[in-house]
Amino acid sequence: MAVSGIILAGGRSSRMGRDKTLLLFKNETLIERTVRKLQNFVDEIIIASNHTAKYNLPGIVEVPDSYPGMGPLGGMHAGLMIAKHQYSFIVSCDMPFFTEELARYLLERKAGCDVVVPEIGNRLEPLCAVYSRNCIKPIEKCLQAGVSQVFRFYPDVRVCKIVESDLRQVGDPKEIFCNLNTPEDLYYLGESDKPVS
């Protein structure tokens, strides 16, 4: 598929207390797991990590933020700036249950849209969504104004929201969009020996 894959891996992992991207989950690190899944359906993979050689994974490009300290929006901008294709599937590295089926489902709905984003209830999932290069300028406008919330540039682009009932065709949204933020999250998924008090 002529689409880029961008992994957001530049977070500080403050609630986890250690680098989330290198946590083991089902016998592979979160970054390795995300790369492996993306390789099934994207043409290139970019890791937005604030580094250029942190992971040294074969064939994978790492890119630092042009606007440091601006959270996921800064990483999205960095990835989209070097993406070869008009559309990118962007995912945070701490979402180990996203699926190829979900990504393909969103990508199939990209015609006429700049953003294809899941909506669960009234909550958007902007860190597991499809973005076009048309988002670059609106994102830059936000970053230059010191605005880091991802959804703040949405009014300036064509957004297609995919509602929960439609998403259920490709899985349970509550599982797909689960993300790992704390040691307790790992414990309750059976990936650590004990919860941290």
Extract the annotated binding site for GTP: 8-10, 20, 65, 94
DSSP class of residue 53?
S
Annotated binding-site ranges for Mg(2+): 94
Cβ atoms of 118 and 71 within 8 Å: the answer is no
List residues bridging with 159 in a β-sheet: 115
Neighbouring C-alpha atoms within 13 Å toward the C-beta of 153: 27
Binding residues: 8-10, 20, 65, 94
Q: Which of 65, 85, 86 is nearest to 8 (CA)?
A: 65
What tokens appear for 173 in the block?
């949204």
- The residues near 165 (Cβ < 8 Å, ≥ 6 apart) are none
